[in-house]
Structures are given as structure tokens and as C-alpha cells.
């Protein structure tokens, strides 16, 4: 009871020390708010990234599609199909049902061949598909309806009792797309005689009898948005597929029917392909559901066989979905972002810890006299430490709780347990810092006073062992990080690893310990040289620094960590940004790329006339060009034909500017000159990845291309793994466009145009070439770069690093101010005493500069170097290529301008802290110097 009363008596000092209490409370509140808000902000960014990731995926990937091939024998087949869809959905795990946004049905019939097609051989497949009301618009006629006719039963074996076919063929109404009508010359009002195609793979075997019908075209519709999710990336209803040969083309078309017509078609007992499609709504999915979603899709895969395509035979219901793959890809990106930000979080946490320690030392120093008085009057060590712990809880716990609640109010969203643990850690660190700071005074005997300036180099063996152990752990961590990195498993998945994330901070602390222990040596050496001068300022300042207490060097460690962290963050953000820029250049190949398609003949002139366009050059691309590198080989390869001189003008000064082999520059000649033959081959660049069964290709190797009916011989001048504008991962050949065009039977038409020009020209380009705004045929490098740069996770990393750098500078400033306040009493006495000896104000400012300049430089320079080293060590381990498009790896880029800005910002922060501390020191009157030794 006496201890409790004594502790309560000691706690009464809180009322008399409101400035110190408020200082700790504000620091804990702000730190708790930062660390409670950070996980919530990342969760919000991750949820936005997940929504963006799913929304950008093709509908067939972000949906669950069940399909089956079977005969329809129900009296009301559409009602039965709809009920089956409900039953299937009821079997879904609850988490999958919650994220699904409705259901669509598609019923596809067997194929019918036209007896007398309007143009050439044509086959029609009938389909009813729900959900197309907003995806199509009538151009002519009306939508089809049911005529009430039925197809006669089809016998798939010899049946002598089968009824004879009807004398009048049943009639069914159909609607077709504009593209189908234009290609096949079918028109509204036409009645087409058709017969079921026994060669259709949907029909298991040939029909023993001819099954005939009539199709009447009652409407032609336009496709409002070919990429709308309602189509599920199936373009069969939008455009026909042309097969056969040039001499005998065949059109495979799909026509729309009404749902009621399915009843009449099913009477034939022909098989149908049925689809039940459940589209996943990206707005209903958040990052907290991923584990449940993965488990849900695993249970779904156990209920329905998974296939990569639609059902093709009478094999039951099969499932096709790409959602698990999308989740896996997103998790890889999120894990990479977590790994990057974990390094930033660990750095900021250590800086916050350093600031809290300095504030705790400052507050305890203010009550030094009262603590010694209490100890002298019989207070035990346990009582003083216990009282300090209770006081710390009384101050830190409400402030931490308030910071946690404020973060939840400012950033609403789902709870993240990491926020709570971080806030608890901040509160515990504050209490521990106050208790440890009180320990030296709580264990002193009555009347004992410590020396103000403890020698820095005289360290106890125990402390040396502890510090040496910390340095060895940091070295081991760096070695392990270089060997293993943050990449776990063979798949290259990057995940958060607490120890690996703490390695850069351990390295920074080890460097700080070494600097703190060793920097007095050069300072004393410089002081010895300064002693030879007649000026008193350098020698006094340097000797003061050399004898400074180790406690007052803690801010230098914080400043070193802040410099290292800020440099690391700057290098990472700049490197990712440059990687995105390079990726955009590599994907597009120029500022703009226009895929020619059906562009008008004067497209090049129209593009060149646009304000802001500097260079326009045509190129020729073709996939699967006939390739042969040995006798008898038949393979396909991607051909990219460009003119080197023109391409250099398009990409001059860009990251993808090409260094051409000299043989490819200025190639001239025609077929009459023998260009393109073995005697005079066309020079070319070939990819390292080659078609199957191709022998090794080296500079000087010959190969042949079949282009436009002409067989050409080319010579390998150089082997490259990539080329700007060429899709990744394919075999390709790059050859001079003009040379190829001069030796083929007819000049090669331009298949695309590359433009050099200013940003924002997409609308003008679309108008010049007659393409709709936003057409995928117009690709902009700037737009692609911005899409990568503005991706939610990339934005989260950039914003997180910049906010962390601001907080790091603030913590460094707080630690420096606390250190100056700790030493202010002694500095005030020194300046007052020196003032009585004639020290001028200018000399006083010079003394302050000498006292603080060298330590700050000795902290900043190693910090900057350490930040660069950590960035170099971690760059390839953080999985940053996931945020830089198809860039295989992010190259370290040091923007010295950004590093200089960070350095100047830290120097300004320290400068403000020094000015504040020095201004307080100058308030002491000379007569106050007589009070030496009194607090």
C-alpha cells in the first residue's frame, strides 16, 4: 500500500510537467496515426488494384462458365435451362455467389448449310443469347420471333418406323450482324433453304437422313460495343469466320434467334451446346476475400470438371474460368508491393523509434533533479521504474488509442490487424523508452552525480559485445539477402519477410554504430590541426564535438537512417518510373502506332499534316510468314519490316533507339539485280528464340522467307532477344522494308504507321485516318506509360515512399531538436561564460556551425552511400518488374538531382533544428554563467 501511495504521489508531477507530457502525447498520437493508417491505405490501394485488375481482364477470364452438349427433351426447354442455371448457382460456395453479378444463358444449335447461298458456301449456326439488349442495335428489320414451326425428329440410326419428312419445310426467323450481311450478301426478307450439316463436330456421327428447314432473315443488327462484357469475348454473332481457300472460300456464320424458337429446334433431337455464364463483379471483390475465393473456386473445381474450352461432346457439365489465375497474378503484384513497402515501413518504424527515444531522454532529463531527490529520500529502484512505466502507459495508451481511432475515422474500410499491432508496438516502445531512460537515475546512490561529458571512446565491454553482435547480424543479413533476396520459391513470388525487410535497417544501424564510435577519431585529428590556428572557434567547437556524450549521438544515427532511407526510396521510385517508360517504348515502338487495316490510301499524308506530328513512317508486319532455315523446313515467323533511317528519325533520343548493323543501312537493288538470292541476300536481324526444328542461327547464316508468293533469301546480321514494337516471346525477323518491297511481285502495303509527335494527339489521329475515338488501332506510348504509372499499386508505392520520406525528415528533425534541448543547458553555460571572455555573436554562430556541421556531414554522407548500396542490393529482389509492363527487369537509375533535393531537404530540416536550439541558448545572461552546477 505504501508503494502505491508513493507511486501516486510521484505521478502528481504530471500536472507540473504538462509540456513534456504533451510532447510525448503528440508524438505518440502522430506516430500511431501514421502506422495505423498505413495498412488501411495499402488495403484500399490493393482493393482498387484488384478491381482494376479484374475489370481489365477479358470477360471469359473473370467469369464462371458452365457448358454442356446434349439433346433438349423437355417440354419447355428454356424454362428447364434457366432452372438448371439456378440449381448450379445454388451449388456454388457462398463467397462465389456473393461476387457474381447475375447469370446469362447461351443456347447454340448444330450447324446448317445453305443449299443456295447468295455469295459462296455458307454455314449458319443458330444461337439464343441473353443479355444482349444493350449490346446490339437494330439497323434494319426487327428482332426474330417464334413461328411455332418444329424441326422433324432426326434419327441417328436406321429406324424403319421413323416418320417421313414434312412436305413443307419448317420456317425459323433469324437476325444477323452488319458484318455478316456484308460478307455473305444475305439481306432482310430473304428465305434461305438449309439442311443440317452432318460434318458438324457437335453432331456425334453423320445424319442418316437429310434434315431440312428454312431460315428467314428478319433483321440486321449493329454491334454497339464489340468488347462489352455481354459478349464474353465470343465474336461469333458479330463477324463471320472465313475458311476454305482463296478459290473456294467458306463462311461460317452465327445468327440470332428468339428463345421461343429453341422449343421448335429441340424437337429434332439434335444436340445443343448450352452455356451458363456467371460474370464476377469487380466491385464486389476486395482483398480480404482472396483466401476464401481461392478456397471457393477449389471446391467449385471439385464439383465441375475444369476445361480450357467449351464442352464439345456428351460428357456432362464442364467449367471454364480464369478467376483463380487472375487472383494468382494479382497476389504476385500485391506481394511485390508489400515487399517494397515493408522495407519502407521498417525504415520509418526505426526512425520513429529513434525520435521516441530522444524525446524520452529529453523528458527524463527535465526531471533529473526530482528523480535524484526521490532516490535520495528512500524511493526504491523498482518504485521509480514502476511509476515511470505507469506514467508512460497513462500518456501513451490514450494517445495511441486516439491515433488508432482517428485512422479508422479518416480511412474507413475493413479492419487490418497489422494496424492494431503497430499501434500497440508504438505504445510499448514509448513506455520502454521512458523506463530505460529512467534506469540510470533510478539505480544511482544518493548524492552521486554523473559526469556531463562521458567519453565516447571509453565503452564498457558489455556494450562492445552487444554492438559487435548487432554489426555481425547485419552483415549476415546482407549476405543472406544477396544470396536469396526476397524471392521465395521457383515461381519468383515475392512476399513479405520480416527479417529480410529489416536487413536494410540493420545495415543502417550497424553503419550508424560504427560511425558513432569512430567519428570522434577524425574529429579529434582535425581538432589537433585546428589547434595550430590562432582562432579559438574551430578548436573549441571540434573539441566539444569529440567529447560529446554518446547519448547525444543518437540523432546522428537517426539522420543517417533518414538519409539512407530517403536515397533508397528515391532510387526505387525513379528506377520504376524509368522502367515503365522503357516498357511503353518497347511495347509501342514509337510515340504512336496506327495499325493500318482498312485505312485510306492517303493516310500517310493525312497523318503528316497533323499539328504536332514530326515524322511518319510506314512499316510492314505479318505473322506466320513462311520460314525455312534448312531444306524441307516449313515454319512460320513474325516479320517486322522497317526502314532503318526512317525508324531512327522516329525513335531518336528514346530508350529504344536501335543500333543497326552497318549492312542494313542503305540496302538497294531489285529482283533484276539479284537482291534476295543466295548470291545477294537481304541483311536482317533475327530473334534468339527460333521456330521449332530450326538449326542454330549466327551472324552470316542464311534463311528463306516466303512473302507474297516470292521466296527470298536473307542473311543474319545480328541476333537479338527483343525489338521495339515486336510482341514478347515470339520468333521474329527484322528486315529493311524498302528492300523487301522492291523484290516481291508487288510492293508491300503498309500494315502500320509509326509516328513521332507530341502527347495528346489521339483524337486528331483518329479523325485523320477515319477511325473511331478510342479505337484499339491507335496505340500511344504516353497513354501506355500513364496507364502503368497510374495503376493503383504503383501509385501506392510512389505515394507511400514520398510520404515516408516526409515523415523520415520530420522524425530526424524531432530527434535533432531533442538532442539540442538535452545539451542546451551546458551550451548556454558555455556560451555565457565565453561571452564574458569576449566571444562575439559572430564567433558564437561560428562555434555552433563547427559543433554541428562535421557530425551532420559524417551522418549524411554514409547515409547517402548506404541508401545507394541497399537499392543496388535489393532492386532485383523486390519484383519491381511487375509494375513496369513487360520490362524483364528494372535497371537501377540514380537521379542525382533527386538525391540532391533529398540531401538539401534533410540539411534544411537539421538547419531549422539547430537554429531553434541555438536561439534558445543565446537567451542566457552572462551573470547566469555563475550558476554552474545548479539545475
Q: What is the pLDDT of residues 313-323, one digit of tens each?
A: 777 888 888 88
Q: Specify the DSSP element, H or E, that contains 67.
A: strand 63-71
DSSP codes of every residue in 307-360: -SS---SSS--EEEE-HHHHHHHHHHHHHHHHHHHHHHHHHHHHHHHHHHHHHH
User: How does DSSP classify residue 75?
Assistant: S
| Sites in the chain below the pLDDT cut of 50 | 1-7, 9-11, 156-158, 446-457, 489-492, 921, 924-935
Residue 265 burial by Cβ neighbours in a 10 Å radius (0-12, 13-18, 19+)? buried
pLDDT of residue 935: 44
C-alpha 311/C-alpha 497 separation (Å) is 43
pLDDT of residue 745: 74
C-alpha 393/C-alpha 607 separation (Å) is 71
Secondary structure of 631-653 as H, E, C letters: CCCCEEEEEEEECHHHHHHHHCC
* 428: its cell numbers: 510499448
Instruction: Give yes or no for a contact between 254 and 234, defined as CB atoms under 8 angstroms apart.
Output: no
Q: Looking at 367-497, list the stretches that DSSP marks H as alpha helix, in order from N- to C-terminal side.
A: 368-376, 381-410, 417-442, 461-484
CB-hemisphere CA count at 13 Å for 648?
11
Pairing outcome for strands 493-494 and 241-244: unpaired
Provide CB contacts within 8 A for 838, sequence distance 6+. none
Residue 408 burial by Cβ neighbours in a 10 Å radius (0-12, 13-18, 19+)? middle
Pairing outcome for strands 682-687 and 710-720: parallel
DSSP codes of every residue in 830-859: HHHHHHHTT--HHHHHHHHHHHHHHHHHHH
* 411: its cell numbers: 480511412
pLDDT of residue 732: 92
C-alpha 612/C-alpha 591 separation (Å) is 11
Q: Is 732 helix (H, G, I), strand (E, B) or coil?
A: strand
Q: Specify the DSSP element, H or E, that contains 686.
A: strand 682-687
pLDDT of residue 255: 93
pLDDT of residue 834: 61
C-alpha 554/C-alpha 558 separation (Å) is 6
Cα dihedral sign, 369-374-380-382: negative
Longest pairwise C-alpha distance within the chain: 131
Q: Is 710 helix (H, G, I), strand (E, B) or coil?
A: strand
| Dihedral angle computed from the Cα positions of residues 494, 500, 501 and 507, in that order, rounded to the nearest 10 degrees | -140
* 772: its cell numbers: 473511331
Q: How far is CA 9 from the centre of its chain?
A: 56
Amino acid at each position: 500500500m505504501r508503494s502505491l501511495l508513493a507511486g501516486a504521489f510521484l505521478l502528481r508531477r504530471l500536472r507540473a510537467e504538462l509540456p513534456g507530457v504533451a510532447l510525448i502525447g503528440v508524438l505518440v498520437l502522430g506516430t500511431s496515426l501514421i502506422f495505423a493508417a498505413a495498412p488501411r491505405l495499402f488495403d484500399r490501394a490493393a482493393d482498387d488494384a484488384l478491381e482494376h485488375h479484374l475489370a481489365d481482364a477479358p470477360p471469359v477470364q473473370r467469369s464462371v462458365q458452365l457448358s454442356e452438349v446434349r439433346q433438349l427433351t423437355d417440354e419447355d426447354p428454356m424454362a428447364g435451362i434457366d432452372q438448371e442455371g439456378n440449381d448450379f448457382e445454388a451449388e456454388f460456395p457462398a463467397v462465389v455467389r456473393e461476387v457474381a453479378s447475375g447469370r446469362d444463358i447461351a443456347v447454340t444449335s448444330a450447324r446448317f448449310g445453305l443449299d443456295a447461298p447468295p455469295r459462296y458456301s455458307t454455314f449458319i449456326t443458330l444461337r439464343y443469347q441473353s443479355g444482349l439488349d444493350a449490346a446490339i442495335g437494330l439497323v434494319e428489320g426487327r428482332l426474330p420471333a417464334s413461328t411455332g414451326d418444329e424441326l422433324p425428329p432426326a434419327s441417328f440410326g436406321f429406324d424403319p418406323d421413323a416418320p417421313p419428312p414434312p412436305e413443307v419445310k419448317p420456317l425459323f426467323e433469324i437476325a444477323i450482324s452488319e458484318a455478316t450481311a456484308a460478307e455473305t450478301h444475305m439481306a432482310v426478307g430473304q428465305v434461305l433453304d438449309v439442311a443440317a450439316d452432318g460434318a458438324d463436330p457437335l453432331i456425334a456421327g453423320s445424319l442418316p437422313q437429310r434434315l431440312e428447314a428454312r431460315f428467314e432473315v428478319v433483321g440486321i443488327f449493329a454491334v454497339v460495343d464489340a468488347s462489352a462484357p455481354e459478349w464474353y469475348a465470343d465474336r461469333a454473332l458479330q463477324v463471320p469466320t472465313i475458311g476454305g481457300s482463296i478459290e473456294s472460300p467458306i463462311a461460317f456464320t452465327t445468327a440470332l434467334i428468339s428463345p421461343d424458337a429453341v422449343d421448335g429446334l429441340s424437337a429434332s433431337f439434335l444436340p445443343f451446346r448450352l452455356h451458363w455464364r456467371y460474370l464476377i463483379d469487380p466491385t464486389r471483390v476486395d482483398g480480404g476475400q482472396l483466401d476464401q475465393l481461392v478456397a471457393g473456386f477449389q471446391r467449385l473445381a471439385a464439383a465441375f470438371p475444369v476445361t480450357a474450352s467449351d464442352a464439345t461432346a456428351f460428357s456432362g457439365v464442364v467449367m471454364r474460368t480464369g478467376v483463380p489465375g487472375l487472383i494468382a497474378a494479382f497476389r504476385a503484384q500485391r506481394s511485390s508491393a508489400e515487399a517494397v513497402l515493408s522495407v519502407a515501413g521498417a525504415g520509418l518504424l526505426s526512425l520513429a523509434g529513434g525520435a521516441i527515444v530522444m524525446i524520452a531522454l529529453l523528458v527524463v532529463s527535465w526531471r533529473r533533479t526530482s528523480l535524484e531527490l526521490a532516490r535520495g529520500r528512500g524511493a526504491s529502484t523498482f518504485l521509480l521504474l514502476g511509476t515511470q512505466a505507469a506514467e508512460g502507459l497513462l500518456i501513451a495508451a490514450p494517445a495511441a488509442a486516439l491515433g488508432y481511432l482517428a485512422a479508422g475515422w479518416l480511412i474507413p474500410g475493413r479492419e487490418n490487424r497489422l494496424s492494431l499491432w503497430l499501434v500497440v508496438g508504438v505504445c510499448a516502445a514509448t513506455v520502454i523508452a521512458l523506463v530505460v531512460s529512467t534506469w540510470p537515475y533510478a539505480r544511482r546512490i544518493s548524492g552521486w552525480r554523473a559526469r556531463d561529458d562521458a567519453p565516447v571512446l571509453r565503452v564498457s565491454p558489455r556494450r562492445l559485445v552487444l554492438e559487435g553482435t548487432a554489426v555481425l547480424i547485419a552483415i549476415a543479413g546482407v549476405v543472406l539477402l544477396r544470396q536469396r533476396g526476397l524471392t521465395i520459391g521457383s515461381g519468383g513470388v515475392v512476399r513479405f519477410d520480416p527479417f529480410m525487410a529489416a536487413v536494410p535497417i540493420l545495415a543502417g544501424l550497424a553503419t550508424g554504430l560504427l560511425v558513432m564510435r569512430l567519428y570522434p577519431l577524425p574529429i579529434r585529428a582535425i581538432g589537433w590541426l585546428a589547434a595550430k590556428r590562432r582562432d579559438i572557434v574551430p578548436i573549441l567547437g571540434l573539441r566539444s564535438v569529440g567529447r560529446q556524450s554518446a547519448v547525444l549521438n543518437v540523432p546522428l544515427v537517426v539522420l543517417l537512417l533518414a538519409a539512407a532511407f530517403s536515397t533508397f526510396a528515391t532510387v526505387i521510385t525513379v528506377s520504376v518510373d524509368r522502367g515503365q517508360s522503357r516498357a511503353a517504348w518497347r511495347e509501342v515502338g514509337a510515340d504512336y502506332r496506327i495499325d493500318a487495316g482498312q485505312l485510306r490510301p492517303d493516310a500517310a499524308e493525312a497523318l503528316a499534316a497533323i499539328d504536332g506530328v514530326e515524322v511518319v513512317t510506314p512499316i510492314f508486319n505479318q505473322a506466320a510468314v513462311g520460314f525455312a532455315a534448312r531444306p524441307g523446313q516449313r515454319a512460320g515467323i513474325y516479320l517486322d519490316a522497317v526502314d532503318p533511317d526512317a525508324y531512327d528519325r522516329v525513335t531518336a533520343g528514346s530508350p529504344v533507339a536501335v543500333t543497326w548493323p552497318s549492312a542494313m543501312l542503305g540496302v538497294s537493288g531489285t529482283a533484276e539485280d539479284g537482291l534476295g538470292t543466295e548470291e545477294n541476300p537481304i541483311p536482317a536481324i533475327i530473334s534468339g528464340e527460333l521456330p521449332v526444328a530450326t538449326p542454330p542461327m549466327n551472324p552470316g547464316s542464311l534463311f528463306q522467307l516466303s512473302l507474297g508468293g516470292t521466296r527470298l533469301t536473307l542473311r543474319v546480321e545480328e541476333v537479338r532477344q527483343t525489338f521495339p514494337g515486336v510482341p514478347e516471346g515470339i520468333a521474329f525477323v527484322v528486315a529493311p522494308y524498302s528492300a523487301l518491297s522492291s523484290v516481291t511481285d508487288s510492293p508491300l502495303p503498309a500494315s502500320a504507321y509509326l509516328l513521332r509527335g507530341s502527347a495528346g494527339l489521339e483524337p486528331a489521329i483518329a479523325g485523320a485516318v477515319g477511325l473511331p475515338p478510342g479505337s484499339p488501332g491507335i496505340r500511344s506510348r504516353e497513354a501506355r506509360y500513364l496507364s502503368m504509372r497510374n495503376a493503383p499499386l504503383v501509385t501506392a508505392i510512389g505515394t507511400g515512399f514520398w510520404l515516408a520520406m516526409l515523415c523520415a525528415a520530420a522524425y530526424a528533425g524531432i530527434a535533432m531538436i531533442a538532442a539540442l534541448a538535452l545539451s542546451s543547458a551546458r551550451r548556454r553555460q558555455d556560451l555565457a561564460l565565453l561571452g564574458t571572455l569576449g566571444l562575439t555573436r559572430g564567433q558564437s554562430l561560428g562555434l555552433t556551425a563547427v559543433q554541428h556541421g562535421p557530425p551532420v556531414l559524417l551522418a549524411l554522407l554514409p547515409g547517402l552511400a548506404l541508401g545507394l548500396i541497399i537499392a543496388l542490393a535489393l532492386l532485383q529482389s523486390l519484383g519491381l518488374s511487375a509494375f513496369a509492363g513487360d520490362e524483364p527487369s528494372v535497371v537501377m537509375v540514380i537521379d542525382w538531382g533527386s538525391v540532391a533535393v533529398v540531401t538539401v531537404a534533410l540539411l534544411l530540416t537539421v538547419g531549422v533544428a539547430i537554429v531553434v536550439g541555438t536561439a534558445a541558448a543565446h537567451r542566457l545572461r552572462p551573470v547566469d554563467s555563475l550558476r554552474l552546477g545548479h539545475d
